[in-house]
């Protein structure tokens, strides 16, 4: 006997399919090159080129530290989320009674509830690994900033190689950070499953639309594309 109904499995497949399809769209396709993340990567290249022109690089160190601190915050938040979700396993009966009393509550078994909680834990663990690796990569970027060639050698082949390697590493750190944030956003859609499969499909769709709009149709993206002509 299946743990979940056919509708539940369809909703879960929709959730995972949307996640995978969106990730491929914003990272692997030609369409991704027009997204906000790709535009920011271009500025990472500019940053490393400008870094070589500065004799005093305290600003670059501060920017790198700010990126590390933000990533560390999200990594810590992921662990808190994992701990909070695991705590819910101890109050399964209370949560089932609460859900049954809600107007939109549906009847669910203890095993189904705990399986859904386990899925939420997996999402937050995935997010933690992405944020933790991003933090480590930003740490490597900080080391590379400290080892950058001096201004007098900014036109040398070694300096050009440094720009390529540092900007690529910084972009990779940003990519993993984006994946962690994507997991956070989609965890909000996943919460709809605790109400029902139809809500999971709807909430996942809404989250995907919001993320897509911010990547490809937001005012922030227009700012990076250049000044508007009116």
Cα-based torsion angle of the residue sequence 59, 62, 64, 66 in order, rounded to the nearest 10 degrees: -140
Q: In this predicted structure, what is the pLDDT of residue 1? A: 46
Q: Which of 135, 191, 222 is nearest to 15 (CA)?
A: 191
pLDDT given for residue 212 in this prediction: 94
Structure tokens at 10: 């369809």
pLDDT value of position 100: 67
Up-side HSE of residue 54: CA atoms within 13 Å toward CB?
A: 15
Provide the pLDDT for residue 107: 67
- Pick the closest to residue 41 from 126, 146, 167, 217 (CA basis): 167
For 26, the token pair is 């914003």
pLDDT for the residue numbered 53: 86
pLDDT at 105: 58
Structure tokens at 115: 């399986």
**What integer pLDDT is reported at residue 41 of this predicted model?**
87
Q: Kindly report the pTM of this predicted structure.
A: 0.89
Q: Are 155 and 195 in contact (CB under 8 A)?
A: no
Consecutive sets of 10 residues in the chain, 230 residues long: mean pLDDT of each? 82 96 91 87 88 85 91 95 88 72 69 90 96 95 89 84 91 94 96 90 96 90 69
Q: How many CB atoms lie within 10 A of CB 174?
A: 20
């Amino acid at each position: 006997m299946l743990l979940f109904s056919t509708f539940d499995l369809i909703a879960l497949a929709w959730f995972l399919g949307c996640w995978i399809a969106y990730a491929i769209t914003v990272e692997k396709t030609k369409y991704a090159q027009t997204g906000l993340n790709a535009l920011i990567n271009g500025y990472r290249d500019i940053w490393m080129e400008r870094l070589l022109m500065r004799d005093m690089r305290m600003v670059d160190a501060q920017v790198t530290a700010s990126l590390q601190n933000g990533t560390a915050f999200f990594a810590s938040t992921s662990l808190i989320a994992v701990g909070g979700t695991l705590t819910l396993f101890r109050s399964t009966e209370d949560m089932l009674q609460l859900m049954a009393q809600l107007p939109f509550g549906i009847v669910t078994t203890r095993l189904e509830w705990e399986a859904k909680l386990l899925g939420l834990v997996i999402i937050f663990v995935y997010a933690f690994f992405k944020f933790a690796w991003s933090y480590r990569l930003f740490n490597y970027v900080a080391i590379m900033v400290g080892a950058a060639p001096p201004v007098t050698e900014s036109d040398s082949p070694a300096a050009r190689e440094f720009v390529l390697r540092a900007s690529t590493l910084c972009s990779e750190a940003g990519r993993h950070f984006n994946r962690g944030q994507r997991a956070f956003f989609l965890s909000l859609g996943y919460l709809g499953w605790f109400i029902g499969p139809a809500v999971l499909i709807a909430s996942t769709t809404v989250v995907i639309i919001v993320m897509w709009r911010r990547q490809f149709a937001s005012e922030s993206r227009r700012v990076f594309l250049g000044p508007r002509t009116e």
